[in-house]
């Protein structure tokens, strides 16, 4: 059993479901934690876990993710959640008006405190910023993130097969299973 | 004598100059420090100072500031520096295209560690987002922030008489002088 620290129930459910397919039991440690400002998502997750490890004695992991747009110098990046809450999808579409290079990627980082140190696992999915919002499912920037012709919000459940979070969790859970087999 | 913690030399010089006019001596403690993510600038400055107080034993203060645009739900707010580095003044102008409510304000917060606890002092200056960049002086969002008809970048030295940072420092230095008179 391992704790997943988040205040977001939707995130917990998604992670628990994926963990199950690896035979790993995940418990919800529902709480806020301090996240530092910074440009590097991996560094942010690592430091968050190091600080939290002073309070939580058991093994735990947390997850941080963001949308990165190279033509906007990586914006909104580590502050994706704040940017979504303030200017939203409309804001990103406005910033991308007239921009030809529409490449974008979602990045997820897992930071795992194993009782002695923090290990990180990354997952990334590459796509493009659509020219308008499409699709009713998903959340956040899903309606403007195009993967293989469809937006994440149009893909529904299928999104979870290819998502950045899925990929980061796969690496992490494979690592955990490897440990058990030692 | 009191320490001002910043890695930004320009900020230190400006603060030292204002302190001098109050007869207060400020020394530069040049270092980075952890700033938490969050929506509330005062809370961010307070927590930064509390964390730093575990490492710095002497009295010190630090400063954090941001540009807040109500029509954009406060964006870029606490992440002004990151937003400036990524999408810049052009990005803000693009987000404000077609937006009628152009009100904006700069907010500065001083967090002062007095050896026992953290006190905060705020300064605010109200203005508007210009329709284009104007002026060659200042830095950051100064070319698009209009105060009384001119942008901060057009005002040069005069900006420092009315700026948010000046106002926050005034409150802080008056407080310090009051203590000395006790």
Annotation says B64 is catalytic: yes
Overall pTM surpassing 0.90 (yes/no): yes
**Residue matched to tokens 């010089």:** B13
Distance, in angstroms, between B37 CA and closest chain A CA? 5
Separation CA B24–CA B175 (nearest Å):
12
Between helices A88-95 and B88-95, what is the axis angle to 10°? 120
- Per the CB < 8 Å rule, is B75 touching A83? yes
pLDDT the model gives residue B81? 94
Confidence of residue A179 (pLDDT cuts 50, 70, 90): confident
Direct distance between the N- and C-terminal alpha carbons of chain B, in angstroms, rounded to an integer = 17
Range of the domain at B136: 2-181
Mean pLDDT of A159-168: 93
- Per the CB < 8 Å rule, is A86 touching B73? yes
Separation CA B72–CA B120 (nearest Å):
26
Look at residue A175 and tell me whether its pLDDT is greater than 70.
yes
> Who's near B55: CB < 8 A, 6+ residues apart?
none
Enumerate the active-site residues of A.
Answer: 64
Among A47, A75, A85, the residue with its CB nearest the CB of B73 is A85
Among B34, B74, B97, the residue with its CB nearest the CB of A86 is B74
Count of structural domains within chain B: 1
Chain A residues within 8 A of B77 when measuring between CB atoms: 82, 86
User: Other CB atoms closer than 10 Å to residue A95's CB: what's the count?
Assistant: 24
> Who's near B171: CB < 8 A, 6+ residues apart?
B110, B121, B122, B123
Give the CA angle between residues B89, B93, B98 to the nearest 5°.
Answer: 175
The residue annotated as part of the active site, out of B64, B126, B142, B148, is B64
What is the ipTM for the molecules in this complex? 0.90
Higher pLDDT, A69 or B11: A69
Separation CA B18–CA B10 (nearest Å):
13
pLDDT the model gives residue B10? 82
Q: How many percent of chain A have pLDDT more than 70?
A: 98
pLDDT digits (tens, 9 = 90+) for B108-142: 999 999 999 999 999 999 999 999 999 999 889 99
| Strand-pair category, B103-113 with B118-129 | antiparallel
B73 CB within 8 Å of a chain A CB? yes
Among chain A residues, the shortest Cα distance to B88 is held by A72
Interface test with chain B among A73, A77, A82, by most B beta carbons within 10 Å = A82
CATH number at residue A166: 3.90.950.10
pLDDT digits (tens, 9 = 90+) for A123-137: 999 999 999 999 999
A70 CB within 8 Å of a chain B CB? no
pLDDT digits (tens, 9 = 90+) for B31-88: 999 999 999 999 999 999 999 999 998 999 999 999 999 999 999 999 999 999 999 9
Q: Are A135 and A142 in contact (CB under 8 A)?
A: yes
A95 CB within 8 Å of a chain B CB? yes
Distance, in angstroms, between B100 CA and closest chain A CA? 16
């Amino acid at each position: 059993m391992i704790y997943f620290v988040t205040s977001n129930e939707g995130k917990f459910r998604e992670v628990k479901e994926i963990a199950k397919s690896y035979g790993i039991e995940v418990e919800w440690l529902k709480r806020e934690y301090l996240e530092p400002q910074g440009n590097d998502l991996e560094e942010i997750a690592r430091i968050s876990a190091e600080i939290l490890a002073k309070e939580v004695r058991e093994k735990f992991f947390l997850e941080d993710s963001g949308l990165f747009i190279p033509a906007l110098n990586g914006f909104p990046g580590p502050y994706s959640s704040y940017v979504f809450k303030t200017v939203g999808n409309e804001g990103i579409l406005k910033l991308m008006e007239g921009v030809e290079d529409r490449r974008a990627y979602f990045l997820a980082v897992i930071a795992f405190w194993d009782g002695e140190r923090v290990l990180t696992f990354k997952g990334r999915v590459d796509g493009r910023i659509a020219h308008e919002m499409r699709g009713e499912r998903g959340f956040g920037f899903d309606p403007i993130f195009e993967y293989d012709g469809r937006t994440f919000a149009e893909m529904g459940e299928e999104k979870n097969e290819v998502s950045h979070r899925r990929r980061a969790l796969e690496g992490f859970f494979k690592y955990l299973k490897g440990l058990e087999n030692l």
